[in-house]
C-alpha cells in the first residue's frame, strides 16, 4: 500500500474552491478530502501546498504532438511517452494522442502503439483520437486530402480494435454512411463530427445516429448562416453533444466562443489544444507531411497561411478561457478537466477531486503556473 497526502490546498471540489483542505491518496486513488487537521496523517508523507490551487488534472483529447514529436511520425510507445511528458509540465495528466489523416496501415500502427503504451503504464495516456482519414476535402484544413477515404466494414473493424482505453474518431458525416457510423458507435467508439462541409440536415442525421461531439468547433466546418445553419448551427442547437474549442486567440474569435458557451448547456464546451510538436520543444519548427510549418506567437501555419494545429498547452488554454472568454476560474478549469472526462466517458474516475477517483491532480499558483502534477498518485517532480 502506498499512502501520501497534500495539505493546506485550495481544492476545486464539485461545490467550488475550498481553502485549507487536505487530500489523502491511497494506492493511486483519492481516499479522503477533508479540512486541514481532520484527516489522519499519522505515518503519511504530506506535502504542503502553501495555499495554492489543487485542481483536477487537465485532460486533452486532441494532442497531435509535443516535445518535438509528431504522433504521425512516431506512432510508437516512446513517441507517446515523449508527447505525454511534454504536456505534463503544463498540467495535462490525461490525453489522447491524436493521429492526423493517414494511411490505414499507419492507423493500425498508432492503435497498436496506444495499446502497448497503456499496457506499459505510460503516464497519462487514456486512448487514441483518430482525426480522419474519413473527412471532407472541402474542409481539409492542413490534412493531406490524398489520404481521405470513406468508412467501410473493414475500417470499422480497425477503428474499433483498441483493447485498452478510449477511441475517439473524427469524421465528416456527409462523407460516410450513417449505418456505418452507427456500427462504429455500437462497437464502442466515440464519434465526433469535424473537417466537414455537411449541411444542417446531414449533421442532424449523424447526431441521431449517435455522433456525440464536434472537433474544434467553428474550424474546418460549414458555418452558421441565416438560411443554412450548417454544422456549426447543428452543434450549437443540439442540447446533448459536446464541442471542443481551441482557445488560443488564433483559431476562433473570442466572441464566437463566448456565443457558443452561452448557447450550449453547461458542461458541453471543453478545451482542447490541437497541439503540435512545438509544445514543450525548444526548436519550434517542424514538418507536417513534408511541409514546413512555421510557428510564431503561438500560431502554427503552412506556407499558404493555413492553420496547422496549435502551439497551445492546457494551462494556457485554461488561462485564456478565464481571460478571453470572461469565465470564472472554476468553469475554466472544469472545461479542461471534468468536461473532457465526460466527453470520453471517464467522468466516473477522472475530472473531479473526490474519494474513489484516480489521483490525477495539478498544483498551480495564482497565475495558473504549474507547480506539480500527479498521475495515479505519482508526483511529476
274 catalytic per annotation: yes
Sign of the C-alpha dihedral computed for residues 370, 375, 379 and 381 taken in this order: negative
Q: Cell triple for residue 356?
A: 474513489
**What's phi and psi for 6, nearest 5 deg?**
-125, 120
Q: Cell triple for residue 29?
A: 486513488
**What's phi and psi for 91, nearest 5 deg?**
95, 0
Radius of gyration of the chain (CA): 20
Burial 198-209 (b: 16+ CB within 10 A, else e): bbbebbbbbbeb
Which residues are bridge partners to 372 per DSSP? 363
> Rounded to whole angstroms, how far apart are CA atoms 352 and 12?
8
Q: Indicate the burial class of 254 (C-beta count within 10 angstroms; 0-12, 13-18, 19 or more).
A: middle
Candidates 226, 180, 216, 182; CA nearest to 196 is 216
DSSP state of 97: E
Which residue, chain included where needed, has cell 440536415? 201
Peptide bond before residue 119 is cis, with ω within 30 degrees of 0: no
Candidates 40, 216, 226, 30; CA nearest to 131 is 216
Contacts of 315 by beta carbon, 8 Å cutoff, 6+ apart: 58, 90, 91, 364, 368, 369, 370
DSSP state of 219: T
374 in Cβ contact with 380 (< 8 Å) = yes
Candidates 169, 95, 105, 85; CA nearest to 132 is 169
Catalytic pick among 31, 144, 238, 274: 274
Please list the active-site residues.
274
Amino acid at each position: 500500500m502506498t499512502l501520501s497526502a497534500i495539505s493546506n490546498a485550495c481544492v476545486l471540489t464539485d461545490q467550488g474552491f475550498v481553502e485549507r483542505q487536505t487530500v489523502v491518496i491511497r494506492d493511486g486513488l483519492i481516499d479522503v478530502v477533508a479540512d486541514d487537521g481532520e484527516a489522519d496523517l499519522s505515518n503519511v508523507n504530506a506535502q504542503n501546498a502553501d495555499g495554492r490551487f489543487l485542481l483536477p488534472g487537465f485532460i486533452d483529447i486532441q494532442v497531435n504532438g509535443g516535445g518535438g514529436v509528431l504522433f504521425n511520425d512516431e506512432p510508437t510507445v516512446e513517441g507517446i511517452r515523449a508527447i505525454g511528458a511534454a504536456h505534463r509540465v503544463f498540467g495535462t495528466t490525461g490525453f489522447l494522442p491524436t493521429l492526423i489523416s493517414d494511411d490505414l496501415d499507419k492507423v493500425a500502427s498508432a492503435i497498436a502503439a496506444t495499446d502497448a503504451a497503456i499496457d506499459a503504464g505510460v503516464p497519462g495516456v487514456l486512448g487514441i483520437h483518430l482525426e480522419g482519414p474519413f473527412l471532407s476535402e472541402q474542409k481539409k484544413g492542413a490534412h493531406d486530402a490524398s489520404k481521405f477515404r470513406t468508412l467501410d466494414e473493414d475500417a470499422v473493424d480497425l477503428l474499433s480494435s483498441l483493447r485498452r482505453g478510449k477511441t475517439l474518431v473524427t469524421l465528416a458525416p456527409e462523407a460516410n454512411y450513417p449505418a456505418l457510423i452507427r456500427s462504429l458507435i455500437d462497437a464502442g467508439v466515440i464519434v465526433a463530427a469535424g473537417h466537414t462541409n455537411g449541411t444542417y440536415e446531414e449533421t442532424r442525421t449523424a447526431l441521431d445516429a449517435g455522433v456525440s461531439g464536434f472537433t474544434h468547433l467553428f474550424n474546418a466546418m460549414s458555418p452558421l448562416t441565416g438560411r443554412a445553419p450548417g454544422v456549426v448551427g447543428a452543434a450549437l442547437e443540439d442540447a446533448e453533444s459536446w464541442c471542443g474549442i481551441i482557445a488560443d486567440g488564433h483559431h476562433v474569435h473570442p466572441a464566437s466562443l463566448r456565443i457558443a458557451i452561452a448557447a450550449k448547456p453547461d458542461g458541453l464546451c471543453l478545451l482542447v489544444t490541437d497541439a503540435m510538436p512545438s509544445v514543450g520543444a525548444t526548436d519550434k519548427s517542424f514538418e507536417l507531411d513534408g511541409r514546413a510549418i512555421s510557428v510564431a506567437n503561438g500560431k502554427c501555419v503552412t506556407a499558404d497561411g493555413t492553420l496547422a494545429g496549435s502551439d497551445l498547452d492546457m494551462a494556457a488554454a485554461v488561462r485564456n478561457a478565464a481571460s478571453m472568454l470572461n469565465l470564472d476560474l472554476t468553469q475554466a478549469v472544469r472545461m479542461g478537466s471534468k468536461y473532457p472526462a465526460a466527453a470520453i466517458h471517464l467522468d466516473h474516475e477522472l475530472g473531479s477531486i473526490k474519494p474513489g477517483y484516480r489521483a490525477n491532480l495539478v498544483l498551480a499558483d495564482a497565475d495558473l503556473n504549474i507547480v506539480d502534477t500527479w498521475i495515479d498518485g505519482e508526483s511529476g517532480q
